[in-house]
Chains A and B, each alone.
Chain A
Amino acid sequence: MGFQSEVESSVPEASDEDVRLMLAFSGGDEAAFDLLFDRWSGRLLRFLERMVRDPAVAEELLQESFLRVHRARDRYQPQARFSTWLYTIATNVARNELRRPFRRSPHDSTDDEGDGAPLTLVADAPATDEVVEARRQGDAVEAALETLPERQRSALWLSAVEGLSYAEVAVALETTEKSVKALVHRARVALSRQMGSKETPHD
């Protein structure tokens, strides 16, 4: 369980505070909404970028997600963690975008070479060997991530990175825990194989 605790420790334990803020916002406190945006926009943007693989579109979807939170303030019921509710909204927004006909697709999911960096995520920084290597590895992981089917990608990201339980991922993806368990495992195995195959020439 050592690694699991490491993963969990990277996720802020903020559920109670977020629910409190959302309830305050439902009661008319607009500043609470701003705080929720401050707390969650970074993580949500990171998730959306992995979902739609386009930074500009991800930003737009971030706006749309919080717009929906704002619209739903009168209907909000704290039946689950705020993060579960928020990722459910974001997942639906991303899915709508992915299913939109003629959507711009900067990187096709069948691009198994991944030569081009799918996202320009790294700011200009001194190009030391370590930075260059980190970028190379990051690009390889991003490229591998892109090859996953949408549901595998989102299930793995929400579970492994965002720290949602399988039950919470199931809510966000509108599926069963059993299905989430299978999706997450298949995604991990696929990424592991791709990362292994790309690292081989460098070993």
Chain B
Amino acid sequence: MTDDDRPIERELSALLDGELTPDEESRVRAAVEADPVLARRLRELEEVDRALLALPARPVPADAKARLRARIATEAEDAQRRRPVTAARPASRRPRRIRRIATGAAMALAAGLLALLLLPMDSGDETVPEPTPMAERGPEPTPIAERVPEPPSIAEEMEDLPDLLAPEEPALDEDTLVLAGKLPESDLPVVEVLDWLEVLDELEAPEQSG
């Protein structure tokens, strides 16, 4: 058993660190006064603390705070960039996307209707065959044209289009600015042709007056 294994030895550091209760401290100090070996051990441990406190301290680099500030700024920018796109996007862009989808849908519907109108159909004197008894039914199927319900007239369709094309935001939005050459043309889809035509009408007046 070495000196350091003695229970009283283990209390010397606690004595130096002020971690003993008053009773414990009195007991250890009494033991130190009575035991020269213990007294020498305490001095040696005190010397360790003095040596540690005497160690030179290197000054903090002068630019340390500036570098920290730069890192904080970079981190803040990164956090801003990582936010969900929907949260970062201005609210005004959402109606624009909805309008694009609606415009596309309207164009597709119009194209479909046009195709139907151009198909040769005997829609004028169509007659629904009278119910035929099952036994008399011939093998030939009913013509397709007879199964298709009468399409709405093009005039009726055009009445609905303005609602679909009606802008949900002020007319002079990003599209307008793109068309006016004030913003770079980016990802405007082809389906916005009707949109453009509508906007161009609005642009005519200020451009001519200017």
Q: Does A pair with B? A: yes
Q: How far is the CB of B65 from chain A (nearest CB, A)?
A: 6
Binds B, one of A78-86, A108-116, A158-166: A158-166
**CB-CB nearest in chain B for A46:** B57
- B151-176 residues with Cβ-Cβ distance < 8 A to A are none
**CB-CB nearest in chain B for A4:** B18
Q: State in angstroms the CA–CA spacing of A46 and B58 once bound together.
A: 7
Chain B residues near A185: list those with CB within 8 A.
9-10, 12-14
Q: How far is the CB of A196 from chain B (nearest CB, A)?
A: 7
Say whether A159 contacts B67, CB under 8 Å. Answer: no
Say whether B68 contacts A63, CB under 8 Å. Answer: yes
Contact of B17 among A4, A34, A122, A191 (CB under 8 A): A4
Known: A3-B46, A189-B4. A195 touches B71 (CB 8 A): no
Interface residues on A, range: 35 or more
Known: A42-B59, A192-B44. A7 touches B72 (CB 8 A): no
Q: B135 an interface residue at 8 Å Cβ cutoff?
A: no
Chain B positions 159 through 199: 1 when the CB is less than 8 Å from some CB of chain A, otherwise 0: 00000000000000000000000000000000000000000
Binds A, one of B31-39, B47-55, B81-89, B112-120: B47-55
Chain A positions 15 through 35: 1 when the CB is less than 8 Å from some CB of chain B, otherwise 0: 000000000000000000010
Q: State in angstroms the CA–CA spacing of A184 and B68 once bound together.
A: 33
Q: B56 an interface residue at 8 Å Cβ cutoff?
A: yes
Say whether A45 contacts B67, CB under 8 Å. Answer: no
Measured CB to CB, the residues of B under 8 A from A are: 4, 9-10, 12-14, 16-19, 25, 44-49, 51-61, 64-65, 67-68, 71-72, 75
Q: Can you list 11 A-B pairs with a CB-CB distance of less than 8 A?
A: A3-B16, A49-B58, A121-B55, A121-B58, A137-B51, A138-B55, A161-B53, A188-B13, A192-B45, A195-B51, A196-B44
